[in-house]
Amino acid sequence: MTRGFAHLKPGGASYCNPTGEPMVEKSIHITDIEAAINHWRALKPSPDGVTLAPELRALAEVYALMVYHRQEEAAEQGFPAKAYEAWRAWYDTTPDTPCIAICSTSQGDPICKGCGRTFEEVQYWTEMSPGAKRHVWRRITLSRSSWRFNRYSERAAEGI
């Protein structure tokens, strides 16, 4: 069954800065959907082990389609409204920015040594969609090369 699957096509729209250069795809990774599901499972546990809260049901439908079609990302634009609302409620509980207040992009570095974002990502962060921000968070978390993840990790943890 592919009904309602159009919103899961990979790629999605690209985020562009004011000069029109593409930056980050607006998509939601399956691990973020899993995190949102676990968030809602903790907030609204099933009373009988079978019944799901509406937020969980909405996220579970998207998750099941992604697993079935073997997709790791779903385009943020066109995401089912109830699932997006549930995902945004989880997203709003996460730190907004990876910044640890040590910005080397202001010194001319193309990638910040403090947080791992590019100059453009730092500059246009407030204009980026939640999906684009999570895309950046995932990349810098997987690379673990910025100071946020080593010598200043305890400083970054203070903001959480």
Helix (H) or strand (E) holding 37: helix 30-43
Please check whether residues 11 and 83 belong to one and the same domain.
Answer: yes
Please check whether residues 110 and 146 belong to one and the same domain.
Answer: yes
Predicted confidence at residue 157, as pLDDT, reads 60
Average pLDDT across the chain, whole number = 82
Report the predicted TM-score, pTM, of the whole model to 2 decimal places: 0.74
| pLDDT (tens digit per residue) in 9-18 | 334 334 444 4
SS3 22: strand
Please check whether residues 103 and 57 belong to one and the same domain.
Answer: no
Tokens of 95: 């730190």
Please check whether residues 76 and 86 belong to one and the same domain.
Answer: yes
| pLDDT (tens digit per residue) in 76-112 | 888 899 999 999 999 999 988 999 888 888 888 899 9
The domain boundary residue, chosen from 94, 125, 149? 94
Domain carrying residue 64: 1-94
| pLDDT (tens digit per residue) in 105-153 | 888 889 999 899 999 999 999 999 999 999 999 999 998 888 887 765 5
Beta strands (DSSP E) in the chain are 14-16, 22-25, 27-29, 73-75
Give the total number of structural domains in the chain: 2
Number of residues in the chain: 160
Report in angstroms the alpha-carbon separations of 22 from 3, 17, 157: 30, 7, 31
